[in-house]
Amino acid sequence: MELATFAGGCFWCMVRPFDEEPGIESVVSGYTGGDTAHPSYEEVKQGTSGHREAVQIEFDPHVFSYERLLTIYWQQVDPTDDGGQFFDRGPQYRTAIYYHSDEQKAAAEASRRHLENDGPFQKPIVTEILPVEVFYPAEEEHQKFYKKNPEAYQQERIDSGRERFIQETWEK
């Protein structure tokens, strides 16, 4: 098994696209990239801990490749937005790919180059590719939010503009 860590704005919206795929063992909502040990949701949401909301995925690379995870990741975010994602604003909602190995770094850089050269975006890709940092799982109420609160989850995707963005950008 391997790990992949992605920051894509609101972590509630980043779990379902990966969850329950063959070869995906777990998708955990959490926080990474900050200075505070064991930050709370409120600290991260307020931007006082330096962390980003993120998901950490445990996967079997023989069943579900890292490159396939990257494809799904790019299709969930606006990689040209340096101020956050959709209606979630601030550095705690900025996009990033956190690599766990040199191979993941190379794959992430190649996928970003492909997106820059052949993707649907006119503006520069600002998603950072960074070495993995300590990942803190979020509180239990944030885990698998889409299953626990399906109506609130769907409303979040619609109200934030994420759902419309994905449809307009990728479903062409």
Angle, alpha carbons 124-126-130 (nearest 5°): 145
Distance CA 165, CA 131 (A): 28
Interior/surface letters 53-65, b for 16+ CB within 10 angstroms, e for the rest? bbbbbebebeebe
**CB atoms closer than 10 angstroms to residue 15:** 22
Per the structure block, which two tokens stand in for 141?
């109420």
Interior/surface letters 116-129, b for 16+ CB within 10 angstroms, e for the rest? eeebeeeeebebbb
Q: Respond yes or no: is residue 10 known to be catalytic.
A: yes
Task: Please pick, among 10, 13, 69, 108, the residue that the annotation labels catalytic.
Answer: 10
CB 92 within 8 A of CB 133: no
The residues that are catalytic are 10
